[in-house]
Structure 1
Amino acid sequence: MSTLHYVLSFLLAIAILVAVHEYGHFIVARLCGIRVLRFSLGFGPQLFSVRFGAERTEFSLAAIPLGGYVRMLDEREAPVEASERHRAFNTQSLMKRSLVVLAGPLANLLLAILLYWGLGLAGTRDFPARLGNVPEGSPAAQAGLQAGDTIRAFAGNEVKGWTDLRWQVVRHALDDSYVDLEVQQGEMEPRKTRILLSGLQIEEKAADPLQQIGLVLPAARISPVLSRPLPGSPAELAGLQENDFVRSVDGKPIAFWADFVKLVSASPGKSLHVLIDRSGRELEIVVVPERVAGDVPRGRVGVAVKIDPDALNRDTIIVRHGIFDGLAHAIEQTWTTSTFSLKVMWNIVTGRLSVRNISGPVTIADYAGQSASAGLEPYLKFLAMVSISLGILNLLPVPVLDGGHLLYHAIEYVRGRPISEAGEVFGQRLGMVFLALLMSLAFFNDINRILFG
């Protein structure tokens, strides 16, 4: 997978999300009778622009792709003719101005709902929420869970598959200690139990949340055939290639993909002699797994298994929703993801979660490339998640963000008159400082991930 693939996947995602956000501002402004002068994707020097429509609105593409804006007729920016004054943004009622500001973030949330709804109608492939071996002493073992148990409900919510189960665990990890489960063994009657979540780490470097509490998939009998290694990963640097068949590691035979993952995970920073079969020719390649921090450091080489479609179809299920329950599920998914995002932000502010969880454009581009490589379904799920994050971030009461403008409007409603120009300028400067610090931290985390993993 080339760097260009990551960049293009990232730019496509940003273009879609920014276009939807700005279109929300644009269409509501038009509906409120406000004249829109420019609709821009990106900031800085214009690369391309065109005017069309009865009002000759300028639609432009700018050089810096990280954002966009809608410029409306406004007396605070330039003189407005008397005949056009009723169409200026600043002359509108407080309600209309607030609706225009709110429309951008709401458009992002609506996009997420539509994406989740479409995926639910089309059906997504997932593993059933059936457990493999339950580690001794884990919260799952303490809850009496056994290999072969299928989790039917988590905290009162139906569990349709493994992805749904992971989301339920993460969703409740920040504010719950014990959570009720409903499990079933084979054809036996479902039984109820409780599992402990306190101590669960929702950190970038932490192990999978399900594994932390002892919820593990049954060992998949997947052949150890490699997909294309990630750019710059230990696997790529060592010379491993797509379609390589792993025969052994340090002389230990590898029967299934899980065997390879187990050995790599247990060997951070150690040289591993990997015997592979490449088009009928055996080669020995030395690879050093990078260290992934956590309570128990583990190794990672940056390559996934190449999935056999027949094996995937045999071991997975299709999770599908109807029109109405699919819409309800999409709204619920968007709502719970939004509230979870706010909880994460609050826990970062209060120090419960590390600031390392703040990601910048490099990390987002990495996720965009990986999800795009995995297929259309993962990429659309990625778009929905980032669209929610963008919508929620813009609703924060920080000047220069949409939420900051809504804060000004709330103050205007209480005072009976707009905030002073000096006060607004001061707030804008504070907002710019906050965003600059936030972006600096995000870039620092990105660079730290690249250099130290």
Structure 2
Amino acid sequence: MSFLQTLLAFMVALGSLVIIHELGHYSVARLCGVKVLRFSVGMGKVIYSRKFGPDQTEWAVSILPLGGYVKMLDKREQPDVQLSAEDLKREFTNQSVWRRIAIVAAGPAANFLMAILIFAGLYVYGVPEPAARLRAPAEQTVAFQAGVRGGELVTAINGKPVQGWSDLRWQLVQLSIEKTSAKLELERANAGPSGGKRFSTATIPSSALGADDLEGDFVGKLGLALARSQATLGHVESGGAGQQAGLQPGDRILAADGKAIADGDAFVNLVRASPAMALNLTLLRAGEQLSVNVTPASIVRDGKAIGQIKVEIASGIEMVTLRAAPLQAVSQAVVRTWDSAILQLKMLGKVITGEASIKNISGPITIADYAGQTARIGLITYLGFIAAISIGLGVMNLLPIPVLDGGLLMYYSVEVLTGRPVSERVGQLGQRLGIGLLMTLMMVAVFNDIVRLVS
């Protein structure tokens, strides 16, 4: 069932992006007066089609569900056919170079516009996400050495406000590619009855912000992780080690064997790592501090003994809702789309120059996996994923590789500069090179996908 959900989520995301991309080409072609012969979703043999409109444009579904195309009237494809005077006016190569540029650029532009509309809609509706509050890091991590101790809320990085956890990660990724250190501005509530807040900073050096593997747990490797709720007990199962030790719902675990328990996850990990080992727990119950001894039962799971006390542990995360007025939402969406596109280009440049690992190139298997994961999380997360992939599709198509939109734009730019089109021989040679390069990139991406899947 999970596989079918992933496949459906991937097909919906890919299909919508392909349709939007090709509608960009189609719409501008029609505005420029070019005759469109076919609009196809998918590649290869047509398996279903219908004709509509005064030009009897064929709207088709093709057998290979990857990509799509808009076929325009082009005399190069039928050199032996004599076109009428009317058709010659509407033939693609007879259009001015600026019209051809507009038609070709409209596909990637449609993908960027789709991302902007999705992001703007999400910002107006409100996007719930984890707050940028930090968990206590391990002592050997960069975050601990920088002064992070847990419980701090990151309010800004290098003076730029941080709105939530995804924004924190996004800014750190950008800084890692730019090889710039990150100064985190931190806010923490004062302990005790006086209350108030304490402010501090923690600087992550540029040497720790490597761009080698941004696809993995990049932030976690720095020691930055989401703060979890305190270790408060929920349901206590009858007959379990917890109930036998006298644990009750509402108990808050403060320490185990004299060592402080940071949060619910830390307590769960400790219990699992302590099969048949007595633990002395310090807990808070109705305002009174108590000491309780509990011995987790030893159970075998996946060939390994783990501890179990059969109690429910709260493990919540502080959430915030990011919301903006319509005009502000559009502005934020444009900035987010622009920054994402520029970041992808910078990352690709670093991969080409060897400054970043080739492992950062992802393919259809990883995209399908993320599509399934985000769809299972919820509609808002899934729409955000579609917007991000739409930006990626727009960027990829603008690369100056023959057979892509960017390759055609490169040819037309040469035509603008020289006053004459690129020769047919050069075009054919570029097409072969472009196909070879794309196939190589696809093989690398699929190989990376398989490695991630196996590991």
TM-score normalised by the chain length of structure 2: 0.79
Shift of 1:263: 9.0
Write out per-residue CA displacement over residues 185-218 of structure 1, whole angstroms, 9 at most, x where no aligned residue. 2343645553313233445587522222232222
- Indicate if the aligned counterparts of 1:44 and 1:64 stay in contact, CA closer than 8 A: yes
- Indicate if the aligned counterparts of 2:120 and 2:330 stay in contact, CA closer than 8 A: yes
> Hey, what's the Cα distance between the residues in 1 that align with 2:303 and 2:17?
38
> Hey, what's the Cα distance between the residues in 1 that align with 2:365 and 2:372?
11
> Hey, what's the Cα distance between the residues in 1 that align with 2:199 and 2:69?
54
Which of the numbers 208, 221, 226 marks the counterpart of 1:212?
221
> Hey, what's the Cα distance between the residues in 1 that align with 2:151 and 2:220?
16
Residue number in structure 2 paired with 1:120: 123
Residue number in structure 1 paired with 2:177: 174
Write out per-residue CA displacement over residues 251-308 of structure 1, whole angstroms, 9 at most, x where no aligned residue. x9x99455556899x9xxxxx99xxxxxxxx99553279xxxxxxxxxxxxxxxxx99
What root-mean-square deviation, in Å, do the aligned CA atoms of Structure 1 and Structure 2 show?
Answer: 3.2
Q: Secondary structure at the match of 1:392?
A: helix
Pick closer, same or farther for the CA change 1:84–1:43 going to 2, 3 Å: same
Write out per-residue CA displacement over residues 311-348 of structure 1, whole angstroms, 9 at most, x where no aligned residue. 76x83121111111111111111111111111111111
Residue number in structure 2 paired with 1:405: 408
- Indicate if the aligned counterparts of 2:28 and 2:106 stay in contact, CA closer than 8 A: yes
2:18 aligned with 1:18, yes or no? yes
Shift of 1:172: 1.1
Kindly, what percent of the aligned residue pairs are identical?
A: 40
> Hey, what's the Cα distance between the residues in 2 that align with 1:341 and 1:435?
17
> Hey, what's the Cα distance between the residues in 2 that align with 1:368 and 1:443?
16
> Hey, what's the Cα distance between the residues in 1 that align with 2:214 and 2:199?
35
- Indicate if the aligned counterparts of 2:350 and 2:356 stay in contact, CA closer than 8 A: yes
Q: Residue 419 of structure 1 aligns to which amino acid in structure 2?
A: V
- Indicate if the aligned counterparts of 1:131 and 1:150 stay in contact, CA closer than 8 A: yes
2:61 aligned with 1:52, yes or no? no
Q: Secondary structure at the match of 2:33?
A: coil
- Indicate if the aligned counterparts of 2:133 and 2:151 stay in contact, CA closer than 8 A: yes
After TM superposition, list the pairs within 5 Å mapping 1:316-355 onto structure 2: 316-355=319-358
2:37 aligned with 1:37, yes or no? yes
- Indicate if the aligned counterparts of 2:7 and 2:368 stay in contact, CA closer than 8 A: yes
Write out per-residue CA displacement over residues 66-118 of structure 1, whole angstroms, 9 at most, x where no aligned residue. 10000011111123322211111101111110010001011111111111111
Shift of 1:222: 8.2
After TM superposition, list the pairs within 5 Å mapping 1:363-378 onto structure 2: 363-378=366-381
Q: Residue 444 of structure 2 aligns to which amino acid in structure 1?
A: L
Q: Residue 51 of structure 1 aligns to which amino acid in structure 2?
A: K
Which of the numbers 301, 324, 330 marks the counterpart of 1:286?
301
Q: Secondary structure at the match of 1:198?
A: helix
> Hey, what's the Cα distance between the residues in 1 that align with 2:69 and 2:439?
18
> Hey, what's the Cα distance between the residues in 1 that align with 2:232 and 2:382?
25
Q: Which has the larger radius of gyration?
A: 2
Residue number in structure 1 paired with 2:144: 141
Residue number in structure 1 paired with 2:28: 28
2:84 aligned with 1:74, yes or no? no
Residue number in structure 2 paired with 1:231: none
Larger CA deviation: 4-13 vs 14-23:
4-13
Larger CA deviation: 169-178 vs 53-62:
169-178
Which of the numbers 88, 93, 100 marks the counterpart of 1:90?
93
Structure 1 residues without counterparts, runs of 5 or longer: 226-245, 267-271, 274-281, 290-306
> Hey, what's the Cα distance between the residues in 1 that align with 2:328 and 2:135?
30
Residue number in structure 2 paired with 1:111: 114
- Indicate if the aligned counterparts of 1:138 and 1:213 stay in contact, CA closer than 8 A: yes
Q: Secondary structure at the match of 2:17?
A: helix
> Hey, what's the Cα distance between the residues in 2 that align with 1:60 and 1:119?
32
Shift of 1:145: 3.4
Shift of 1:437: 1.1
2:390 aligned with 1:381, yes or no? no
- Indicate if the aligned counterparts of 1:151 and 1:159 stay in contact, CA closer than 8 A: yes
Residue number in structure 1 paired with 2:205: 196
> Hey, what's the Cα distance between the residues in 2 that align with 1:88 and 1:224?
73
- Indicate if the aligned counterparts of 2:402 and 2:433 stay in contact, CA closer than 8 A: yes
TM-score normalised by the chain length of structure 1: 0.79
Q: Secondary structure at the match of 2:343?
A: helix
Write out per-residue CA displacement over residues 154-194 of structure 1, whole angstroms, 9 at most, x where no aligned residue. 12321111111111111211113322332222343645553
Residue number in structure 2 paired with 1:302: none
- Indicate if the aligned counterparts of 1:104 and 1:391 stay in contact, CA closer than 8 A: yes
Pick closer, same or farther for the CA change 1:262–1:5 going to 2, 3 Å: farther
- Indicate if the aligned counterparts of 2:181 and 2:209 stay in contact, CA closer than 8 A: no
> Hey, what's the Cα distance between the residues in 2 that align with 1:263 and 1:356?
36
2:162 aligned with 1:155, yes or no? no
Shift of 1:60: 0.4
Residue number in structure 2 paired with 1:431: 434
Structure 2 residues without counterparts, runs of 5 or longer: 190-195, 235-239, 243-255, 277-296, 305-311
Write out per-residue CA displacement over residues 117-138 of structure 1, whole angstroms, 9 at most, x where no aligned residue. 1111111111221222143354
Structure 1 residue ranges, 4+ long, deviating more than 6 angstroms after superposition: 222-225, 261-264
Residue number in structure 2 paired with 1:448: 451
Count of aligned residue pairs for this structure pair: 395
- Indicate if the aligned counterparts of 1:169 and 1:209 stay in contact, CA closer than 8 A: no
> Hey, what's the Cα distance between the residues in 2 that align with 1:399 and 1:15?
23
Q: Secondary structure at the match of 2:223?
A: coil
